[in-house]
Every structure is written in C-alpha cells, then in structure tokens.
Amino acid sequence: MKEFIIGIDAGTTGIRAYCFDKKGKVISMAYEEFRQIFPKPGWVEHDPMEIWEKTEKLIGQAIRKGKLKAKEAVAIGITNQRETTVVFDKKSGKPVYNAIVWQCRRTSGFCNELKSKNLDQEFQSKTGLVIDAYFSGTKISWILDNVKGARQKAENGNLIFGTIDTWLLYKLTGGQVHATDHTNASRTLIYNIGEKKWDEDLCKILNIPMSMLPEVHTPRYKFGSSKGLKTLPDGVPITSLVGDQQGALFGQLCTEVGEAKNTYGTGCFLLFNMGDEFKISKHGLVTTLACGPDGNTVYALEGSIFIAGAVIQWLRDNMKFFKDAKSTQKIAESLKEDDEIVFVPAFAGLGAPHWDMDARGAIYGISRDTTPEQITRAALKAIALQSYELVKAMEQDTGKELKHLKVDGGATFNDYLMQFQADILGKKVIRPENVDTTVLGAAYLAGLETGFFASVEELKKLNKKFAEYKPKMKPQIRDKEIEKWNQAVERTKSKK
C-alpha cells in the first residue's frame, strides 16, 4: 500500500498534476499547456472547459506514471492562478464566457472611472488592494455587462463566480461544492480582509450580486470530496485550496513573521509574512491573506510583476530568438561585454510598485548592431530588476532589511538570472531543491489536514537541500545597472 497526496497546479499557461509521498517528494508528475486566447490587444482569456478536461486527464496520467492506485489517494490539494475569473451557470455548470485571465487589461477604463470617483482608499482599506484590472472584481462586472442575458441570470441567482480553484473544486465534486479560500478571495477586490467576509458595499459599487459569491474557508479545510470522475474514485477529500503565490510561501515554509519568498513564473511575486498585522503599503505593494504555521490565515505584503517568465516565452514564440527557454542561460553567458540595452517588459502594464495599467513594453538603447542575444540578456536582467524594485519597496514598508531572498519557480534554474539577482540585490539568493513550491504548499496543507504530514516542524526537517548565489558584482556596476533601469521605467510609464 502506497498512499499519496495529489497536488494540482493550475497555472497561467498549463496544468500540472503531481503525486507526493510521505516525505513531500514528487513521485510523479504530468503536464500539459493550454491555449492562450487573445481576442483583442491587451485581452487574455482561457477556456475553462479545456482547463478542467486537462486537469482530469492529467490526474490519471500522474497516477499511472507513478504506478500508483487511485484508491490510495489520501487527499487533493489545489493551487491556482488566483485572479483569473470564471462565471458559470449554477445548475448546468457551463461557463457563460471564457475565463478572463489576471493579465487581461480590458477593464482598465472601468478602473480609471472608479479612481476618478476617489474610491481608491475605500477599496484599499478594506481589501488591501489597489484598483487595477489585474483583480477579479471588474472582470466579473465586465462579464455581467457584456454577455447577453448574464446580468439578468445573475440577479435571478442562476450564475455563480469563481477563480480557477473554485471552478476545479466545483468540477471535482460533481457540482456539489461552490467554495474558495481566504487567499484566493483576497485577490478579488470585493473581499474585506480585515473582517474576512465579502464586502456588500464594494459589491454594490461594482454591481455584483452577492448570491454569485462562493463560501470562503481557511486554505487548510475539508472543502468536499471527489464525485463522478473518470480518474478517481468517489470520496477522495479535497483538503486545501490556496492561491499559487501563497502556496509558494507555505511551500517554502515561510510560516513565521518576517520571512519572504519570490516566485519566478509567468509573472514574479514577492510575499512577506506579516503575521496578524494588517498593514497598508505606502510604497506600491498590496496586502493579501496568506498561510500561517498551521494553515491558519495571516497577512502578507505582496509585490506583483505581471511579466517575468512570459517575456522569455514571448522572445521564443513570437520573436523566434531561440527554441528552448533553457538556452537563455548560455546565450546570456556567451556575451562578454555589457551594453546599454534595457528591456522593460510592460506588456500588460506595470504592476508593483508603479501600478500603471496603460504602460506598454519598450526596449531602449538599440543600435544597428544590436543582436537577439543582447535583447535576450536584457530580458533576463529585467526579471531581476523588477524583483529588486519589490524588495526595496518591501524594506521601506516594513523598516526591515531582508537578509536573503528565498526563490522558487522554473526560471530559478537559470544560473545567470539567479546570479544577476543576487548581484543587483547585494544579497544572498537561496533556491530550494524542489522549486515547484506553489503546488508543494498545496500538498503540504492537504496532507496536514488529513494527518498525512505530522506538522510544519516535521516538514522543515525534510527540506534541507539548497543552492545559494552570493553577490559578486562591483558596487559601481550595480549602481549603473539600477540607474539605467530607473530611467527606462520612467520613460515607459504612460503620460496621464
């Protein structure tokens, strides 16, 4: 008998299904990308049914790869791409429109209208967030106002909303459960994180019927059980839902106040554990809900970069600069001399700490002899420089200097990027053995709820292998890199 935890990582570009053993090690994994839909410039959508169908299939594939028996699955944990919004029929379970992705900018105009009414403080004081098209609230409003018959159906109580965790939970339980957790709810722009409840006043402002909203629980909770699936028996409990970045914070076991991590994925996300302190940032960060030592809910400061690994994907798929993202390390290392190229990848606007929805990407310093290799290196640097801005903002907000930065995510295997990150921060960068910490956090929470894992202390004993990058760059070179970046960002910002 080999019991295991199923971890589902519903990311922005693909789905991963994992099977974890008692030591928190990956037994097996299955992965598939799904379509990125771009109906108009700045608009990004996903097909919720495609996400669900691939998820169900990949669970079966992961179990078979691990030579495991489905009946021995102890629990399921889900981590997901947070703000992405699905509105679906309460009875049939059919989406009324594609999922609107967190990167989508279609509601920027609506957000500017809200700002013009001086609603910024009301939203931030309750939700910890800034008014931005990034979050779910304005996406829900857009669907209700632009899909024929949707508003009437919603007001009649026939439509429900969810982020991707809610959508997958609904499908996994055969349509029996409509719920989410604190970490995902805190990304919607309509959840009061001080009172931990949906905010009626904010829902009125955005014209969202509260009957659409899911129940909210702690990330570690028995949300429901599998029912009617092709790849699992009925009765497998779903015992954790957690937003991907909060999942990574817990996966890195940053459960104590003052601990922080940065995840390098499609975007970059830096979270700092604030414990029970609800603090509003004065330096362009947001406040969100995260997981404490026992899976309880705590506050965290977060900095969000919209385009990180996605810029490498763009260079590969759109510009055809290289065939494999892994080759970017050798490309960057092959260049001996530095140059003046600065790449600001504001493809979806600028996130923290600037929050400029209308900024667009730019490359500066191009000359006639500029090469694809130089632009590729500048793109890698941009990921680290954006992360530098988040660390500085976090240190200003907390009044504490970060001793080192814990990192995770697929891009952390790029040694050039990680060394440049350490150099530009002037701090040690620490990468764990397992960099898929978003789903690891979900698996830890699911396992703790069922007793599969004994305690956080036991988990910490299992995680002792790390790679470290120490700063080597001369201070004057570092200062020049930061100055070039700051100048480029200022030139990229929209002129309002």
What is the signed CA dihedral for 34, 39, 42, 46, rounded to 10 degrees? -30
How high is the pLDDT of residue 266? Answer: 84
463 confidence band (pLDDT: 50, 70, 90) = confident
How high is the pLDDT of residue 433? Answer: 86
How high is the pLDDT of residue 179? Answer: 98
Confidence (pTM) = 0.88
User: Which two structure tokens, joined as six digits, stand for 167?
Assistant: 């959508």
Smallest CA-to-CA distance from 438 within 18, 49, 70, 1 is with: 18
| pLDDT of 440 over the 80 cut | yes
How high is the pLDDT of residue 1? Answer: 67
CATH of domain 4-245: 3.30.420.40
- Residues paired with 468 in a beta bridge: 430
The helix/strand/coil state of 152 is helix
User: Which two structure tokens, joined as six digits, stand for 82?
Assistant: 């947070």
How high is the pLDDT of residue 265? Answer: 86
Quick check: 421 and 268 in contact, CB under 8 A? Answer: no
Average of pLDDT values for 265-285? 90
256 confidence band (pLDDT: 50, 70, 90) = confident
* Helix 164-172 with 48-65: angle, nearest 10 deg: 60
| pLDDT of 338 over the 90 cut | no
The helix/strand/coil state of 31 is strand
Q: What DSSP assignment string belongs to 415-463?
A: HHHHHHHHHHHTSEEEEES---HHHHHHHHHHHHHHTSS--HHHHHHH-
How high is the pLDDT of residue 496? Answer: 61
| pLDDT of 465 over the 80 cut | no
Domain boundaries, given as residue ranges, for the chain: 4-245
Average of pLDDT values for 469-486? 96
* Segment 198-213, tens digit of pLDDT: 999 999 999 999 999 9
| pLDDT of 125 over the 70 cut | yes
| φ, ψ for residue 16, nearest 5 deg | -125, 135
The dihedral built from the CA positions of residue 94, 96, 98 and 104, taken in this order, carries a sign that is: negative
How high is the pLDDT of residue 219? Answer: 95
How high is the pLDDT of residue 163? Answer: 97
Quick check: 9 and 79 in contact, CB under 8 A? Answer: yes
Burial of residue 5 (CB within 10 Å: 0-12, 13-18, 19+) is buried
| pLDDT of 430 over the 90 cut | yes
Average of pLDDT values for 272-283? 91
How high is the pLDDT of residue 434? Answer: 83
Average of pLDDT values for 104-131? 94
Fill in the DSSP letter of residue 178: -
How high is the pLDDT of residue 93? Answer: 94
How high is the pLDDT of residue 213? Answer: 98
